[in-house]
Amino acid sequence: MTDDREKTPALTTVASDGGANSPQPPFDGDLTDLGTLKRLLARHGISLNKGLGQHLLISRKALNAVVGAADLTPDDRVLEVGAGPGVLTRELALQARRIVAVELDRAILPVLRETTADLPNVEIIPRNLLEVQPEEVFGAEPYKLVANLPYYITSLILRHLLESANAPRVLVVMVQREVAERLVAGPGEMSLLALSVQIYGTPRIITYVPATAFFPSPQVDSAVVRVDLHPAPLLDADTTEQFFALIHAGFAEKRKQIHNSLARHLDMSRETISRWLAECEIDPMRRAQTLSLEEWLRLARIAQAEANSGE
């Protein structure tokens, strides 16, 4: 029987005790060894589903890059998403104070419990992260996100955590190479994803990871990205909401000139949009992807100031 420990009335985590009251023998296998991993999965009757982004890390070099990028200390609390069989979980547990591993796949949970049974600082949440609020898990305590994110849900996870009441102070994530390059993009290549992350923190690519670092191998390469949150919010809550309304409108038809896209999708007069753009010294003929983060921030501040004035 597992030992259920209530962190809050709304959220239950499961201690990784392997299902017995007596101490569990340590797992001594190397989960980056393909033979070891295959035998473990076979013993639990598990076959992986590529369609669900189930690509397991089997590269010690890539694993070390992820853990190293997090700059962990013995006092750190870490949130891991998509823990799978525990290859990253075990490494994190050796360096940090508390690891909360979120895993939705019920089939692989017995494997995760087995591989972390000897690690008392690991807690497992068998739920969809999008249904978990970080403040339910960590309260107001600071924490880091360190994860090999499922490809099909990367953007949703990043937005869910960055917009939460207690966002991670640092994010270190393995994502598709294309996604990584979009995250760090500047003017000319800007996107909704880039702006949605860069308003909260500064992303940088740590290293690239080949498809052969995973089992089964995906069709694309990956990259390790670190995002350091800004020391203070760039905008207040109302202006942040205005910012997101503007960028969604701007990118709704990104091939159109910015004044047309904003007027149409904000349902505002062209005169108002033209005035805002003029105050920001933004050429109305430009397109959304050419604007910098700072230009979008200025536009949001002006739009919110006008909303506050009742005009």
Alpha helices in the chain (DSSP H): 34-43, 60-69, 87-93, 109-115, 134-138, 154-162, 177-183, 192-198, 237-252, 258-266, 270-279, 293-309
pLDDT, residue 3, reads 33
CATH 1.10.8.100 fits 237-309, yes or no: yes
Low-confidence ranges of the chain (pLDDT < 70): 1-24, 49-53, 311
Classify 201 in phi/psi space as left (phi over 0), alpha (psi -120 to 50) or beta: beta
Provide the residue ranges of all domains of the chain, joining segments of one domain with +: 4-229, 237-309
Of 249, 242, 304, 245, the closest CA to residue 279 belongs to: 304
Of 17, 6, 37, 12, the closest CA to residue 215 belongs to: 37
pLDDT, residue 1, reads 31
Whether the pTM exceeds 0.85: the reply is yes
CATH 3.40.50.150 fits 4-229, yes or no: yes
pLDDT, residue 294, reads 98
